[in-house]
Amino acid sequence: MNIVVFEVSHDERQELEHLSRTLPVSLRLVEANLSLATVAEAEGAEGVSVLGRSRLDRPLLEALKNLGVRYVSTRTIGVDHIDLDAARELGIRVAHASYPPDAVADFTIMLMLLVLRCYKPAMWRQNVNDYSLFGLMGRSMRRQTVGVVGTGHIGAAVIRDLAGFGCRILAYNLTPCEDLKSLAEFVDLDTLYRESDIITFHVPFTPATRHMVNRESLSRMKDGVVLINTARGELMDIDAITEGIETEKIGSLAMDVFEHEQGIYHADRKTDILKNKDMVYLRQFPNVVLTQHMAFYTEESITSMVDCGIKTLLDMKEGRQTRLEL
């Protein structure tokens, strides 16, 4: 099977080379994003694979179909960069990737501990040889009530990790998970917001979840609530979040994702002027931790995402069912 792999990064090449030797595929590796300007690279291919920076809208999908491309994979879990309705209408089959939930779950716990123990201002002080303790008193995880919004693979892994700390765990999901009820108390969203000291979000970005954290939902949370987001930046209304930090309604904020992060995260922009003013403003606060969409970024995750990106294309072509087809 002829496949063109777009957005190839240095950390993917070893696994891609391994797959090209062990699977009946011919891989052409392209570092550029897939766009109308680069779509000609897909000529002669039956399948293409992308990451999240390629925006597969209807015109681009039509161009792929005209070149004979029948299968598309994204080496990401999220698929908001692909017009799935247009793909279905054009007869292009699409699959996404998966990876073990441990990477994001571990990172989520790390962010909780970083903000609970005031690590960011402590690090700032060390850089100028200030070893004072005033203002750095933290809180123990054991004494917190932690609310987990969304108990899919990642949310469930977070709950299992949290159970080891001995804290009280509340959970919200559209369908309560029986196998987690011994570790967490499933409650409605209002109860979770009202009673949680820390709230972590693990739901996909959909029209229903867009800006689910807003002025109204913040008003239902505790004063000084700690918010953690390793899911999607679009879950949070940044104007409301910023106001919450300024008024101290939010005690601490840790986000691995940010709305309109495209073109900033995963790129070297240190000599550029960043146009995301909200991001630039928020990162100044000592109780705000922003990381560059890296919660997933482990050796195991990259290998899994690359494997999914190639093997799902092969499965779809050869008529094998894959749970990752959308």
φ/ψ of residue 53, rounded to 5 = -80, -15
Residue ranges and CATH numbers for the domains of the chain are 2-99+299-317 (3.40.50.720), 102-290 (3.40.50.720)
**What is the C-alpha separation between 92 and 56, in angstroms, rounded?**
12
- Selected catalytic residue, list 93, 232, 234, 259: 232
Helix spans in the chain (H): 13-22, 58-66, 84-90, 102-116, 119-127, 153-163, 189-195, 215-219, 238-246, 277-282, 299-317
**What is the C-alpha separation between 257 and 6, in angstroms, rounded?**
23
pLDDT of residue 18: 96
- Selected catalytic residue, list 293, 320, 323, 325: 293
pLDDT of residue 201: 98
Residues of the chain with pLDDT under 50: none
**What is the C-alpha separation between 278 and 242, in angstroms, rounded?**
8
* Active-site residue flag, 81: no
* Active-site residue flag, 283: no
C-alpha 205 chain-centroid distance: 10
Closest among 156, 245, 143, 243 to 197, alpha carbons compared: 143
**What is the C-alpha separation between 283 and 174, in angstroms, rounded?**
33
pLDDT of residue 41: 96
**3-state class of 317 per DSSP?**
helix
* Active-site residue flag, 18: no
Q: 235 is written with which tokens? A: 């879950």
